Every structure is written in C-alpha cells, then in structure tokens.
Structure 1
Amino acid sequence: MLDLLKKTAIINFSLILFCDAPDFWQLRLQDPASSIMEGILLFNKHLLFIVVMIVILTGWLLFNTIYSYDEFNSSQPANFFHSNELEIVWTSLPALTLLTLASPSFSLLYSMDEISIPDFSIKILGHQWFWSYEISDFRSCLQTTTLKYACYMLSNEELRNCKGFFRNLETNKRVILPTNTHMRLLVSAVDVLHSWTIPSFGLKIDACPGRLNQVNLFIKRFGVFFGQCSEICGVNHGFMPIVLLTLPTSQYHYLIMTNLENHSS
C-alpha cells in the first residue's frame, strides 16, 4: 500500500509540473525530458516562426496583387509582367529560407545519430502484444547480473484499486531508469513490426524482427513517462503501452542492487 501511495504521488507531482502524459484537447508537444526532445522543440519553434512569416507575407502579396493589379483598378497591368527583379526576389527568398531551415535541421539529425560511450545497455523486444526489457551490463559480485521485465497493460479490473492511474497506459511493471546517464537502447521484435515511442524523450525506434536498432538516450529529469507502440502490429496494437520511471542516479543504483540481491537469494 505504501508503494502504491508513493507511485501515485510521483505521478501527480510529475503531471502537475510537466506534461508527460496525453491530455484532453492537447495541442502542444509534451515537455522535454531529454536533450533530443529539447532540440526537437527548439527546432519546432524556429520552424513555426518561419512558417507564420511565410503565411503572412504570402497572404499580403496575394491580397495586394488581386486588389491592385486587376483590369478595373490598374490601367497598365501589363507593365508588371516579365520583371527580372521580381524573378530574382522570389527565387532567392525561398532558397535563403531553406538554408535557414537546413542548418539547424542537419545539426539536430547529427546529434540524434551521435553515439557516445554508454554506461549500460537496455535490450527492448516487442511482442504481440507486450514489451520485454533486459538490462545485463551490471558488474557486481552477485551471480545474477541480469534484470528482465515483461510489461503488460493493466486491465480495467486491475485499475479499480489504483487511483490516479491512466487507463490503457499503465503496465504491471514500470521500467526504472536513471537520470543524467548515457544509455544505449537496443530495440528489436520477436514476431512483427513494432515501434517503441516515448514522446517526452523525442524517441521513436522501429522494432524489426531480425534487426537490431540502436539509439542513445540521456534523461535529464526524473518523473513518470508514458508511450505506446506506434506501428500497426495487429488487433491489439493500441494496447502496448510503455511506462518508464526515472530516478536520480544514486536512488536508481540502490534499487537495482536491492533487486539483484533479491534475485540472487
């Protein structure tokens, strides 16, 4: 009961301060929890500003052209045609706009593909219709140095005793990860195509049978983060949620060592 109250308090605290779960009539992206998502949000704001300026400029030019250069308001509309200056302007402006978008876009793509030396690896496997996780890079004197999780979605009957939990988003086990730690995610699938997605992390990794996809993750704050499978994988595609609980590094290592000791005993 105490663990349940702690989990509920963490969820409520996380959702009050940050948008880490879907909300009704949500129009904005979820708050960033990783360096990747921070870059995506910054680029989104940069792109949105340019798109708004383009819409305003194009709308003004279109309205001004229709109003000022028709046969009723202008006696010499033909003088406007075949203007070399105009051709130069409307060719150079889009080119400069694309250059301003290309530079931050390529920088973001390069940073997302950059592979740093990870502190440990997490193996993620997609099944019909649940996720399994394995953490096997621990170095300890214990005989059992592998943690394995099989995370299934909680049914409506199980959620009746869990106040404050989200329907179709909660799992029987939450994967615990540390903050401020470089992690390597190895994602694959057992049967069909899946996609491991956490919006707050800015990650969407395809899980392909027979193929191992790799991505780096650096979480910058603690909380409870939700995701779902984003690849149509069958009749229960909408019932493959992902729940991650991130903790400070010291607390994480304490919980992991306690878990390993329980497994070994």
Structure 2
Amino acid sequence: MISGKIARAASQMAKAPGLFLASLTAAGIMAPQVALAAVAPEPAAAPAQAAAGSYTPMTPTPGIGMPVDGGIGFQQQFSKLGEYGEWIHNAVLLPIIGVISVFVLVLLLIIIVRYNRRANPVPSKTSHHTVLEVIWTLVPVLILVGIAIPSIDLLAKQYKPAPKDALTIKVTGNQWFWTYGYPDNGDFEVISNMLNLPGQPTINNGVREVGSEPWDGPSHLEVDNRMVVPVGEPIRLQITASDVIHSFAVPSLWFKLDAVPGRINEKVLVVEKPGVYYGQCSELCGAKHGYMPIAVEALPRDKYNAWVLTHAGGAIDGQKAAGSETDYLPGEQPAGEASEAPAAEAAAE
C-alpha cells in the first residue's frame, strides 16, 4: 500500500509540475531563487526611463555669435583658437601695419618737402649705399619672421588631431542645406534648412517662417534644425559634400573648412560657452548659395544628452575613459585591455 501511495503521488507531480515546484519551494529547495526574484527590479523600468528626453531650443543672445550693425572687426570669439587668432590680429598685425604705414607716409612727406625741384635743383647722383641697402633688406625679413612665428603656431594648433575619445559629428554640405550625422550617439541624422522669410518667395518648401517661434534668431541665419554640440568638449568635425564644393564657416568660433565631394576634411571644434553661433556656406555653390546658413547650438552635457534622446535611435555612450578599439593603431592598444575581455567572458560563464 505504501508503494502504491508513492506511485500515485509521483503521477500527480508529473501531471502538475506547478505542484511539484510549490512543494520544492515549501521544502526550502528554491527559497534562494524566490528571494532574489522578490528583490530584483523590474527590467522594463530602466529602458523606459533612459529613453525619455526633452529639448527646447536656446534663444540666441543679440550681438553674440552673429554679425552686428557697423561691425568692422572680428566677431567676439568663443573658442581658444579664436581668442588666439584675434590676439595675433590686434596685438601683432595691426601694430606692424600701422607703424609701416606711418613710416612710409613720413618718408613721402620728407621727399616732397626736401627733394622737390625748387629745394634741390641739383639732384644727387648716388647710385649705391651699402648700409641703406642692408637695412631695407634685413628689416623686412625680421618683420616677416615676427609675423610667421605666431601664425605658424596658430596653424599648427588649428589642425591638431582630436583626442581619441572626442565626440564625432559628420557634416555634409548639399545644394542647399546641411546634414549633421551623429555616429557616436546612435548614428541618427539632422537635416538643417534655412527658415523662410515672411512676405518673400518660398525658399524651402515645408519649412516654417523665421520669427514664428520665440527662440528664432536673425533672418537669413536661422534654421529649422540646428547642429547641437556639447559645450567645453573637443568635437571631431568630419566635413564632406554630396554634390559640389561647400565651405563650413562659423566666424565667432574661428572655424572654416571646405566640404569637398568624395573627401573628408577633419578639424577639432571646442566651444567655450553655451550659446547659439551662426555662420554660412563660404564657397560659391550655386543659385541658393546665400540660403544655406549654419546654426551651432552649444549646450551643457546633460542638456545635450537630453537632446540626443529626443531623436529616434539616439543613444548616449557616456563618458568614455579610453578610446574604442577603432581608435588604436596596430600595436597601440594598452596592455591592460587585452586581458579584460577573456576575464569578462570567464566571469560570465
């Protein structure tokens, strides 16, 4: 009879595995697993929270990052390179030009007064003056050397390669709009068209008019979708074109680089302060060359991340401690990284 009861119990457990698991749980066999399941967070909550993102375009400051009425000098600079270039212009080039111009003017006045026909009826027949010729040969050479040293330094700094962990943004010039790609943030793209002008012929079909939103900047410079970048970080801009040669130029950021079809030109951009900075295509590219402006909006990192998450496929990689695998040349990979992958696989197993 006992063996019969055992057989019937086994048959019932085989038909109802839930009863069998319940009995094991009651016996304490599955207690650790049940306890872990009770305290584990819901997996769906984190992705839903991470996918949230919000963005309101920044309102530009009048006179900052844009042309001003009566302006005859550089726009106010908001990058280290721009400040350095402006210093070379104001502290090196302008004084040299001013001194040379005044010196030549004084020489002309002396010649007019001292060596005219009435004051000097018998002209000098001097045909060679060694000291004078040495001076007017060496002085221009020294002037050019003084100009060349800071100029070459500025050129070298402008084309210094970006850090390995720098954010990459791809800029493509088209007839007649810009496309901004974000391969490090999910590889989404933003198409930027100039806003239409009220009361004027339509420039871009389906695009709203400038002034219809409170954050719009000047006409002929504002766009429907700006190029958004994080402030205070080196950004690797890779610039190309899809049809003809364009030129990506933002004067207040001391940035200008040609966009050539079939070729990628690369340069680093660092924006010092949050704001909106305007530029234009600076290479004659066709009938609507004057209608493809550039608007760069620099945001703090947290607001930039929120802007990224508003785009389909947008993703935040986070602050990378080191470059990715593609950033290293053969043999350049740090020694510690080679052993991390096998260790991680072993831990997973």
Question: Taking structure 2 as the reference length, what is the TM-score of the superposition?
Answer: 0.66
Question: Which of 161, 168, 171 is 2:223 aligned to?
Answer: 171
**1:27 aligns to what SS in structure 2?**
coil
Q: Distance in 2 between matches of 1:160 and 1:166?
A: 8
Q: What are the Cα deviations for residues 106-155 of structure 1, in whole angstroms up to 9, with x where unaligned? A: 111111111131521000111111000011113xxxxxx22310011111
Q: CA deviation at 1:97?
A: 0.7
Structure 1: gaps spanning 5 or more residues: 139-144
1:109 aligns with 2:155: yes
- The C-alpha deviation readout for 1:180-203, integer Å capped at 9, x for no partner, is 101100000111111111011111
CA contact (8 A) 2:276 2:295 kept: yes
Match of 1:234 among 276, 280, 286: 286
- Would you say 1:207 and 2:252 are equivalent positions? no
Contact 2:241 2:262 in 1 (8 A): yes
Larger radius of gyration: 2
Q: Distance in 2 between matches of 1:120 and 1:179?
A: 11
Q: 1:124 is matched by which residue type in structure 2?
A: V
Structure 2: which amino acid aligns with 1:30?
Q
**Runs of 4+ that moved beyond 6 A:** none
1:30 matched to 2:75: yes
Query: CA offset at residue 211 of structure 1?
Result: 0.6
Match of 2:212 in 1: 161
AA paired with 2:62? Answer: L
Task: Tell me by how many angstroms 1:43 deviates.
Answer: 1.3
| Shift, 1:178, TM fit | 1.1
Query: How many positions carry a matched residue from both structures?
Result: 248
Check 1:246–1:104 CA distance in 2 against 1; reply closer, same or farther (3 A cut): same
- SS of corresponding position for 2:184: coil
Task: Letter of the 1:121 partner, please give it.
Answer: T
Report the RMSD for the aligned CA atoms in angstroms: 2.2
Task: State whether residues 187 and 205 of structure 1, in contact with CA within 8 Å, keep that contact through their aligned partners in structure 2.
Answer: yes
Query: Matches of 1:20 and 1:102 in 2, distance apart?
Result: 29
> Secondary structure at 1:15's aligned position in 2?
coil
2:130 is matched with 84
Equivalent residue for 2:181? 134
Q: Which residue of 1 aligns with 2:4?
A: none
Query: Which segment is superposed worse, 158-167 or 63-72?
Result: 158-167
> 1:94 aligned to 140, 163, 176, which one?
140
CA displacement 1:86-115 (0-9 Å, x = unmatched): 112211111111111111111111111111
> Structure 2 stretches of 5 or more lacking a match?
1-54, 199-208, 316-349
Structure 2 residue 240 is the aligned partner of structure 1 residue 188 = yes
Cα-to-partner distance string for 1:33-61 (whole Å, 9 max, x where unaligned) = 11221121111111011000000011101
**2:202 corresponds to 1:150:** no
Q: Percent identity?
A: 31
CA contact (8 A) 2:179 2:189 kept: yes
Q: 2: distance between equivalents of 1:262 and 1:120?
A: 17
Distance 1:70 1:131 in 2: 62
Separation in 1, partners of 2:268, 2:241? 18
Q: Is the 8 A contact 1:70 1:77 kept in 2?
A: no
Residue 15 (1) aligns with residue 56 (2): no
Query: Pick from 75, 78, 84: which aligns with 1:39?
Result: 84
